[in-house]
């Protein structure tokens, strides 16, 4: 009996051991090794994400600037790759083995179970070669998508570009709708309006056999969702004006910004040096991007939005308006051209009123205007009086959209600098500075910094006699008009009569005898231009040239700011360039006898500098 009892336990132990082996194997198959599940899924159901058609981009006249072209990427799911015939694979794609191995390593590092791009933008021969042999390479698939193509060689800084989503982005909730291999807007309007342009993805579920051949929709497409195309953008940019501005700025560094004062719509946005937007699209884009990035001329730098410079004498207009609103000067206030206060670069008549002072750009006059605005006797301590006065002056100046971001529909915008009392406290020490420390602000020099976009917006504000709309590129998203924030009117807290008092002086700058901006005149066409020249001191080389204006003066349709680095006096280079741009926009063409200005303005900025 004891013998039989012992055999019973042996048999039970054998059964338990066998059961344990089967259980262990089953656990491995079902839990640890997902290849069986993947194969089973592949035999039955496949989830296909449909990328929507990205919205197109048009100019203000309905011309297509950016459209979509179909391209194909080779995708890889590392876990499904079995015994890859590397030699044959590389021969099909005409790729070196080390490049393929590096790409596979990167794909495995991203995810072993999710598909990611191995080769993007397959050429037609590459696509044909791999597609016919794809069945021999499990784990690889072809993904069709739309890539951007361009009908323009201009406007690269505003349009921006589209690129493959970085793997790090996929971990952020903001990008939960994207997957590896997707493309999204990286800079410019492509980035700012990404949500509107991208549309909504769709999903299809398809039955496939073990060899990956589609057998039809799963349950008749009951669970499929359709993709929704992105919305089109209709820009305010005038393509012809934009191309003309880029022609005039060839060989230079600087910017041109033109705005419709009545709406805030940006008509032209030139950042020089320029590059073709197609440079950052298609195969080899990465190498071309690095070439632009390493170019010492910095063509990727968005100058109208990101470059901040002292505005020069154009800023005298803002100083005068602030002082008039404070009640410390009037349109008929005169100040002597006292060059012991600050040097004046022009020989001119006594500035007995603001019109003469603006026409002749008298530095001592505006020195005294700002001094009257800042030193108002609020404190018996002269240092504290300067602190209090500068603080009030700054608050009023910032209402013009200076020293802060305007809120344009582009993410790269810089706010510039309108220095505060705290700025000088930190630099000089508390109660260790006075008006003589900051007087250079009165003529737009020193620590102040504004962008080309801000300068154009100041002129739009003067053209409107006291208000502006936030500058923007997009007239309409789809059929819905601009975004709501671009329909709001912003007032600057200066009474309209003060603006009216400035405009005759600005007209005299251009059309008055001896005005500093005579080369901007369009009087021969019956167009009155109101403008202001500027020359920005540059301690590192030749001075920078500025000119800002609007026209027609009585019914403004365009406000413009031109900034040319190292071009010297603004009246010599920036003023005639602005005149040609305004003529092009208002008349539609350049008069034949004025073509000489067009030819003369082309070329490097150094040609405009007077050498002593």
Q: Are 171 and 204 in contact (CB under 8 A)?
A: no
pTM of the model: 0.85
What mean pLDDT value characterizes the chain?
88
Q: Are 394 and 455 in contact (CB under 8 A)?
A: no
Q: Are 528 and 552 in contact (CB under 8 A)?
A: yes
Q: What is the pLDDT of residue 127?
A: 85
Q: What is the pLDDT of residue 223?
A: 77
State how far the alpha carbon of 301 is from the alpha carbons of 415, 448, 570, in Å: 16, 20, 23
Asked whether residue 413 carries a pLDDT value surpassing 80, the answer given is: yes
> Which range has the top average pLDDT, 21-35, 163-177, 345-359, 499-513?
499-513
Q: Are 459 and 453 in contact (CB under 8 A)?
A: no
How far, in Å, CA of 27 to CA of 89, rounded? 35
Place of tokens 């003060």: 498
User: CA 237 from chain center: how many Å?
Assistant: 14
Nearest of 577, 580, 578, 530 to residue 556 by alpha carbon: 530
Q: How many CB atoms lie within 10 A of CB 499?
A: 19
- Per-residue DSSP letter, 28: I
In tens, the pLDDT along 524-570 reads 999 999 999 999 888 888 889 999 999 999 999 999 999 999 988 89
* DSSP-assigned beta bridge partners for residue 48: 204
Residue 589 CB-half CA count within 13 A: 3
Asked whether residue 200 carries a pLDDT value surpassing 90, the answer given is: no
Please tell me the least confidently modeled range out of 224-228, 272-276, 486-490, 500-504: 224-228
State how far the alpha carbon of 7 is from the alpha carbons of 18, 458, 539, in Å: 17, 102, 103
Q: Are 273 and 297 in contact (CB under 8 A)?
A: yes
Residue 234 phi, psi dihedral angles, 5° rounding: -110, 110
Q: What is the pLDDT of residue 177?
A: 81
Q: Which two tokens stand for residue 145?
A: 């998508």
Q: What is the pLDDT of residue 485?
A: 92
> Which range has the top average pLDDT, 181-190, 278-287, 442-451?
442-451
Q: What is the pLDDT of residue 203?
A: 81
Asked whether residue 23 carries a pLDDT value surpassing 70, the answer given is: no
SS (H, E, C) 542-573: CCEEEEEEEECCCCCCEEEEEEECCCCCCCCC
In tens, the pLDDT along 361-387 reads 999 999 999 999 999 988 999 999 999
Q: What is the pLDDT of residue 188?
A: 96
């Amino acid at each position: 009996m004891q013998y039989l009892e012992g055999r019973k336990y042996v048999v039970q132990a054998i059964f338990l051991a066998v059961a344990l082996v089967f259980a262990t194997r089953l656990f491995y198959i079902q839990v640890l090794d997902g290849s069986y599940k993947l194969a089973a899924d592949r035999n039955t159901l496949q989830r296909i994400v449909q990328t929507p058609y990205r919205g197109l981009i048009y100019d203000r006249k309905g011309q297509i600037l950016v459209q979509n072209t179909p391209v194909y990427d080779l995708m890889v799911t590392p876990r499904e790759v079995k015994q890859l015939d590397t030699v044959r694979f590389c021969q099909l794609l005409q790729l070196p083995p080390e490049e393929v191995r590096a790409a596979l390593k990167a794909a495995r590092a991203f995810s072993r179970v999710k598909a990611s791009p191995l080769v993007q933008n397959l050429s037609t021969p590459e696509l044909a070669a791999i597609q016919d042999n794809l069945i021999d390479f499990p784990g690889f698939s072809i993904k069709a998508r739309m890539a951007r193509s361009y009908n323009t060689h201009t406007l690269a800084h505003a349009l921006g570009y589209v690129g493959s989503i970085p793997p790090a982005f996929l971990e952020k909730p903001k990008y939960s709708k994207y997957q590896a291999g997707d493309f999204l807007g990286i800079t410019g309007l492509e980035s700012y309006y990404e949500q509107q342009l991208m549309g909504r993805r769709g999903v299809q579920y398809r039955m496939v056999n073990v060899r990956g051949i589609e057998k039809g929709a799963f349950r008749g497409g009951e669970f499929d969702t359709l993709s929704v195309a992105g919305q089109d953008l209709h820009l305010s940019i005038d393509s012809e004006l934009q191309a003309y501005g880029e022609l005039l700025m060839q060989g230079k560094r600087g910017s041109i910004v033109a705005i419709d004062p009545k709406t805030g719509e940006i008509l032209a946005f030139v950042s020089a040096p320029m590059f073709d937007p197609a440079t950052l699209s298609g195969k080899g884009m990465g190498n071309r991007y690095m070439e632009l990035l390493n170019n010492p001329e910095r063509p990727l730098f968005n100058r109208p939005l990101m470059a901040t410079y002292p505005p020069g004498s154009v800023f005298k207009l803002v100083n005068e308006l602030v002082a008039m609103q404070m009640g410390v000067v009037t349109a008929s206030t005169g100040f002597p051209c006292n060059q012991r206060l600050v040097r004046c670069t022009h020989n001119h008549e006594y500035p007995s009123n603001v019109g003469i002072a603006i026409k002749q750009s008298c530095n001592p006059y505006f020195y005294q205007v700002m001094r009257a605005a800042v030193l108002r006797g609020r404190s018996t301590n002269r240092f504290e009086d300067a602190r209090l006065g500068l603080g009030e002056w700054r608050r009023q100046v910032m209402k013009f959209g200076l020293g802060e971001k305007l809120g344009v529909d582009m993410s790269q915008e810089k706010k510039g600098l309108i220095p505060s009392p705290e700025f000088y406290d930190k630099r000089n020490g508390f109660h260790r500075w006075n008006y003589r420390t900051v007087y250079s602000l009165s003529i737009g020099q020193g620590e102040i910094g504004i962008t080309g976009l801000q300068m154009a917006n100041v002129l739009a504000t003067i053209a409107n006699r006291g208000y502006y709309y936030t500058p923007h590129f997009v007239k309409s998203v789809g059929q819905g008009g601009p975004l709501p924030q671009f329909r709001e009117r912003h007032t600057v807290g200066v009474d309209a009569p003060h603006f009216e008092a400035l405009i005759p002086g600005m007209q005299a700058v251009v059309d008055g005898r001896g005005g500093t901006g005579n080369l901007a005149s369009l009087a021969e066409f019956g167009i009155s231009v109101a403008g202001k020249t500027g020359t920005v001191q540059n301690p590192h080389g030749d001075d920078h040239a500025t000119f800002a204006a609007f026209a027609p003066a009585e019914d403004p349709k365009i406000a413009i700011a031109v900034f040319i680095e190292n071009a010297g006096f603004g009246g010599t280079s920036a003023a005639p360039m602005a005149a040609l741009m305004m003529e092009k926009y208002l008349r539609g063409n350049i008069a034949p006898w004025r073509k000489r200005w067009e030819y003369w303005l082309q070329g490097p900025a150094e040609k405009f500098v007077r050498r002593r």
